[in-house]
A and B are shown apart, each in its own frame.
Chain A
Amino acid sequence: KAGVTQTPRYLIKTRGQQVTLSCSPISGHRSVSWYQQTPGQGLQFLFEYFSETQRNKGNFPGRFSGRQFSNSRSEMNVSTLELGDSALYLCASSLSASNEKLFFGSGTQLSVL
């Protein structure tokens, strides 16, 4: 069974641009969560989606948004990029909406110049 797939693997953007990251969960998993990982802040929860609905949202500005499609694939978007948005963005999927036993992808490394 394929794991969680995130694309692209690496991304370089400039301040003010926007970016869309993609995540394909493990087949059969319906819950997708997004995390931001930086050396200074560690793993910070962004949001969680289940059955195309956002169930929970972390403490991030409105520039960070996401969505989930009917096939459980998810995208997250960051608009008006700032230097501080440079981070590894991790997607994780789980079978149920309880968010237990998350299975992570390898992430998208975003660099904002």
Chain B
Amino acid sequence: GESVGLHLPTLSVQEGDNSIINCAYSNSASDYFIWYKQESGKGPQFIIDIRSNMDKRQGQRVTVLLNKTVKHLSLQIAATQPGDSAVYFCAEIFPTGFQKLVFGTGTRLLVSP
């Protein structure tokens, strides 16, 4: 079936470290990707997006890298803070007639003070 990412791994980092969260997407024709952050008891929150004609995009403390050759996305968080602790999902837009956002299973980020 459709899938983005695999299992739900956990990444544990110390406050102030840089974090890198990885994601494998499934459809080589997908042309738009989004990273979401989901805190406990809340819905996913948009972080950053990237289109397939780019390989890097930077936001505030976050950078997304796209490697279309190996169908891989990564989210880099600089100077990770305890408030960054959450589950992070990557998602891709399938280029069908009716666009549909397909989510991965997510990565849990734990930041220790």
Contacts and interface: CB of A to CB of B under 8 A. Distances in A.
Nearest to A42: B105
Interface residues of A, number: 23
Contact of B43 (A45, A98, A99, A106): A106
A113 interface: no
A21 B104 CA distance: 24
Interface string A1-16: 0001000000000000
Identify whether the interface residues of B are mostly helix, strand, loop, or mixed.
Answer: strand
Interface in B41-58: 41-46, 49
Contacts of A90: 43-44
Contacts of A55: 98
Nearest to B103: A43
Contacts of B1: 59
A45 B93 CA distance: 12
Given A45-B100, A55-B98, A56-B98, A105 B43 contact: yes
A35 B43 CA distance: 11
Interface of B: 1, 8, 32, 34, 36, 41-46, 49, 89, 91, 93, 98-106
